[in-house]
Chains A and B, each alone.
Chain A
Amino acid sequence: MSLADFLASRWEDILAVSWWHLRLSLMAVGLALAIGLPLGIASHMNRFAAAVVLNTVSVIYTVPTLALFGLMIPLLGIGVIPAIVAVVLYSLLPVVQNTYTGLANIDPNLREVAVGMGMGRFTRLFRVELPLALPVIFAGLRVAVVNAIGMVTLASLIAAGGLGDFIFRGISIMSWNLVLAGSVPVLAMALGADYVLKRTEQRLSRSREGAAP
């Protein structure tokens, strides 16, 4: 079957699986953000928390992705939930690390002015520190999203679906049409997400440069 014929007969299928793939990735990154942001803030506020949290997330990150999915099977079995858990764990590092770095690198003069003007700990965090760290946090988010889109491909191996299904089936039956139907959308999604998030990142830092936004 030619590639064109293949696409004509299967496009609905490809679209549905791609959508599922994207949803899995974004759900995982969303959860990673919900967990990682507070962890990054806690690391910034407390040296002990920083030592524990930063070391833990970087150890997790050093586990090869495939092995991480494998480790999920004895713990959580197979399917969507262990897949999402694995991607969340893996996405924690860029989120936590960038939140921590973004907060740590704020000009100490600005922090002192905030204190000197009479801001409390949390006012300072939400009104000054997090907004100033936002571009760095956003860069971490971008890395996490691009990583997750690639990683969800492997989630197919523990029966979570996604575009990995096409790729692995295609490899096993030597159907290059099927391999392409899986890998091209993954590539497109990763590049698309990278582009969109990078633009947003630039807009974030540019809005502070000039006149009113």
Chain B
Amino acid sequence: MALQVEFRDVTKAFPGTPPAVDRLSLTVEAGTILALVGPSGCGKTTTMKMVNRLIEPTSGDIVLGDTPISQMPVKELRRMIGYVIQYVGLFPHMSVAENIAIVPRLLGWGKARIDARVDELLTLVGLVPETHRARYPRSLSGGQQQRVGVARALAADPPVLLMDEPFGALDPITRVRVQDELLAIQRKVRKTIIIVTHDMDEAIRLGDKVAVLRAGRLVQHQPPVDILRHPKDDFVAELIGHDRLVKLLSTLSVASVMGDAAAPAAAPAIDRTATLEAAFLQMLDTGRDELAVEGGGSLHIRDLLRASTG
């Protein structure tokens, strides 16, 4: 189950400073990932924390499904929202199983149901229940702790998940792996996920849509491909970086732009699920301007040019 999250004209002003979040309206469709991205102080974390009411908006409201969150009992609201923060925030005095069991216990689940759920979740995030459930967080690697953090957030099957720079403390290789795992998990559980990051690459990889914030204002809110094709202004373009078009090619698959015509007999082959970046590199590498797509069809360099401008 997932619920839509809708921000309705939400403003948060702290006394004596410009608004941290300024008249934000946007909708996160049920079962999709929204990546909130922007530099430090742009209001992305404030925006996220208003969803589980760690911060109360000054004006406007947030609607979960059909219910404005201001009308829900706050503890009940928080127990139906999974929460993952940077540095994971696992409790060091509790075992992995106890950490995962927190919200189910708050909800009064029975022991057998909790135990079964803990094992189910550990398996879901790629850990072995028998070897991991009794261990303490400090004996786990950063990536393993991150997985337990995700398992804990999913424990009571919440319709919404909030993730605040969840992979910020991981090394680049582990980060990409855990991001892929998150996407794989999302394909199974289909939650509404709001993920805060300052890393545009991460936002593009993870988000079904990306919302770029600057000084509390929503600058652009679109699927990653559209943001990469048409950054709204210099600020967004700068966040993406000089290799914007490479990132665009790495976001699109061969299947999304290929043609039906058969390729010339000698054309090198490429998989339909490969990225256009891989296809482009193969063209450069082999000196050919056309590739044969495995299973029929072809990819010409003209297709790439069309893809880059949309």
Contacts and interface: CB of A to CB of B under 8 A. Distances in A.
Interface of A: 109-110, 112-120, 123, 127-128, 131-132, 134, 207-212
Given A109-B85, A116-B54, A118-B79, A208 B93 contact: yes
Nearest to B95: A212
A105 B267 CA distance: 65
B93 A210 contact: no
Contacts of A116: 52, 54, 78, 81, 83, 85, 162
5 contacts: A109-B86, A110-B91, A115-B78, A210-B139, A211-B135
B103 interface: yes
A110 B134 CA distance: 20
A118 B139 contact: no
B176 interface: no
Interface in B67-96: 74-79, 81, 83, 85-87, 89, 91-93, 95
Nearest to B137: A208
Interface string B81-116: 101011101011101000000110010000000000
Nearest to A212: B134
A130 to B, nearest CB: 10
A211 B139 CA distance: 7
Given A110-B89, A115-B54, A116-B162, 18 more contacts: A112-B54, A115-B78, A116-B52, A116-B85, A117-B83, A117-B102, A118-B78, A123-B106, A127-B102, A208-B92, A208-B93, A208-B136, A208-B138, A210-B136, A211-B139, A212-B95, A212-B135, A212-B136
B303 to A, nearest CB: 46
B26 to A, nearest CB: 21
Contacts of A208: 92-93, 136, 138
B54 A119 contact: no
Contacts of A123: 106
A119 B85 CA distance: 16
B202 to A, nearest CB: 20
Contacts of B106: 117-119, 123
Contacts of A209: 136, 138-139
A120 B107 CA distance: 12
Interface in B191-233: none
A132 B93 contact: yes
B165 to A, nearest CB: 11
A119 B81 CA distance: 13
B135 A120 contact: no
Which residue, of B52, B54, B95, B136, has the highest number of chain A Cβ atoms within 10 A? B136
A131 B74 CA distance: 25
A117 B79 contact: yes
B152 to A, nearest CB: 8
Nearest to B86: A109
A7 B83 CA distance: 67
Given A118-B106, A208-B92, A208-B93, A113 B85 contact: yes
A120 B139 contact: no
Closest 5 A/B residue pairs (Cβ): A118-B78, A212-B134, A118-B79, A113-B89, A116-B83
Which residue, of A114, A115, A118, A134, has the highest number of chain B Cβ atoms within 10 A? A118
Nearest to B103: A117
